[in-house]
Amino acid sequence: MVAYDFDEQIDRIGTACFKYDGRGHVFQNPDVLPLWVADMDFATPSFIIERIRKRCQHPVLGYTFRDDEYHAAIRWWYAQRHGWSIDTGWIDFCPGVVSGLNHAIRAYTQPGDAIIIQPPVYHPFFSTVENNGRKLVLNPLRNNGEGYYTMDLQHLETLAQQGAKMLIISSPHNPVGRVWTRDELLALGGICQRYGLIVVSDEIHSDLVFAGHKHIPMASLSDDLAQRTITFASASKTFNIAGLSSGFAIIPNKELRLRYQRELEASGAGMGNLFGIEAVKAAFSPQGEAWLGELLRYLAGNIDFVERFVAERLPQLRFRRPGGTYLLWLDFGSLGITDKQLNELLQQSAGVGFNAGSGFGVEGHCFQRINVACPQSTVREALERVAAALEVR
Ligand SMILES: Cc1ncc(COP(=O)(O)O)c(C=O)c1O
């Protein structure tokens, strides 16, 4: 029995919603069908909304703190979903994962220090390093030509030898959708261990993993990796609550935790959001697990749909289904046009708003990232528009 209606079209216009109301700022055409920024067009689950509504029945919305129930919910979720037994004392706050990355960079490195990222990757990885005056060092992923990406461990080792201080990974990886395997993470971790790198593991997409794949928290792999890894995560992607600005860090190493806390205090960002705390308690629960199961089934159906559509109607494109995330990475390279022409074609002629691949590094040249966390009718409409625009090109 399907208890949630993921097919429902919800009008988000006029709710100061970035994905829809922000189109005028982001695209040349403010009316594009938006399948870009990574939130979902599905209703936030009712048990989260109810929890927030219940809290609103109390008339005072004053200062708050993260209580035992909050920590217990995260601990339960990690044991249940990811097989990682965490100590509640390891959990710390971040207003969002991106702000957490900024805090970690400042806590563990000095201006000028080299920090490695693996493009194509979520664009704030570039800006957080550069905005903090650290040196950005790139270890591009390798595409086997068919859209399957792996990490270049040999090059990583060279960069580590040259004195990099930190590695930031996206696990699962936005935008290529890889769910890194145990062996890959162990090999990566081995390099970090040999050369003393701190690992910042952005695991915000860790719950959005499809059948046949398994998310493995980097820090769960060994004692050494637990001691050198800072994990960032959030209920925001999984349960569509990004607007509540509430993420968390898991830092088993006491000294690293204290350094992180000092940065958080220095920026005054440690209080947290009352509704975000309530939402996490409702989300990381058996009810949340049941909802997530249905969500993943629906998302897998949308990805099946894209796979079929591309094979039948858009054979010029290359697409490999992701192991995780609701973000698809489509290769338009065979069209033989520039990024600018591709963006114009999609935004002006087709009327669709995707994320231009070039925003994820030069490796994203002539790719587009498509967010399929929306009713399948929206995905179909977007792809029909692309097919029609390519036909008359
Ligand atoms: C890999 C990754 N990290 C972080 C974020 C954003 O996190 P937050 O909104 O908590 O800053 C996103 C959002 O798309 C993401 O894909």
pLDDT at 151: 98
Domain extent listing, the chain:
18-44+287-391, 49-285
User: pLDDT tens across 42-53, in order?
Assistant: 999 999 999 999
Measured distance CA(220)–CA(225) in Å, rounded: 7
Average pLDDT, integer, range 220-229: 98
Assess whether the C-beta atom of 246 lies below 6 angstroms from ligand 1.
Answer: no
Contact by Cβ (8 Å): 178, 212: no
User: pLDDT tens across 81-105, in order?
Assistant: 999 999 999 999 999 999 999 999 9
User: pLDDT tens across 98-153, in order?
Assistant: 999 999 999 999 999 999 999 999 999 999 999 999 999 999 999 998 999 999 99
What is the position in ligand 1's atom list of the atom closest to the CA of 98?
11
CATH of region 49-285, choose from 1.10.10.10, 3.40.640.10, 3.40.50.20, 3.40.50.970: 3.40.640.10
User: pLDDT tens across 323-361, in order?
Assistant: 999 999 999 999 999 999 999 999 999 999 999 999 999
Q: H/E element holding 344? A: helix 339-344
Probe target for ligand 1 pocket from 19, 40, 97, 329, with the most ligand atoms within 8 Å of CB: 97
Assess whether the C-beta atom of 236 lies below 6 angstroms from ligand 1.
Answer: yes
State the pLDDT confidence band at 1, using cuts at 50, 70 and 90: very low
Measured distance CA(167)–CA(199) in Å, rounded: 5
Probe target for ligand 1 pocket from 122, 206, 238, 246, with the most ligand atoms within 8 Å of CB: 122
pLDDT at 28 exceeding the cut of 90:
no
Assess whether the C-beta atom of 92 lies below 6 angstroms from ligand 1.
Answer: no
Angle at which helices 286-313 and 68-82 cross, to 10°: 50
Assess whether the C-beta atom of 244 lies below 6 angstroms from ligand 1.
Answer: no
pLDDT at 2 exceeding the cut of 90:
no
pLDDT at 290: 97
Ligand 1 midpoint to CA 38 (Å): 8
pLDDT at 3 exceeding the cut of 90:
no
Measured distance CA(297)–CA(376) in Å, rounded: 12
pLDDT at 82: 98
pLDDT at 81: 97
Closest among 45, 325, 48 to 170, alpha carbons compared: 325
Assess whether the C-beta atom of 210 lies below 6 angstroms from ligand 1.
Answer: no
Which residues 6+ apart lie within 8 Å of 148 measured at CB? 320
Assess whether the C-beta atom of 364 lies below 6 angstroms from ligand 1.
Answer: no
Assess whether the C-beta atom of 170 lies below 6 angstroms from ligand 1.
Answer: yes
CATH of region 18-44+287-391, choose from 3.30.420.40, 3.20.20.370, 3.40.50.11810, 3.90.1150.10: 3.90.1150.10
Q: What is the CA radius of gyration of the chain?
A: 21
pLDDT at 163: 96
Positive/negative CA dihedral, 143, 320, 81, 101: positive
pLDDT at 175 exceeding the cut of 80:
yes
Closest among 389, 386, 315, 314 to 35, alpha carbons compared: 386
What is the position in ligand 1's atom list of the atom closest to the CA of 236?
10
pLDDT at 369 exceeding the cut of 80:
yes
* pLDDT cut 90: percent of the chain above it: 97
Measured distance CA(265)–CA(370) in Å, rounded: 37
Closest protein CA for atom 14 of ligand 1:
38
State the pLDDT confidence band at 271, using cuts at 50, 70 and 90: confident
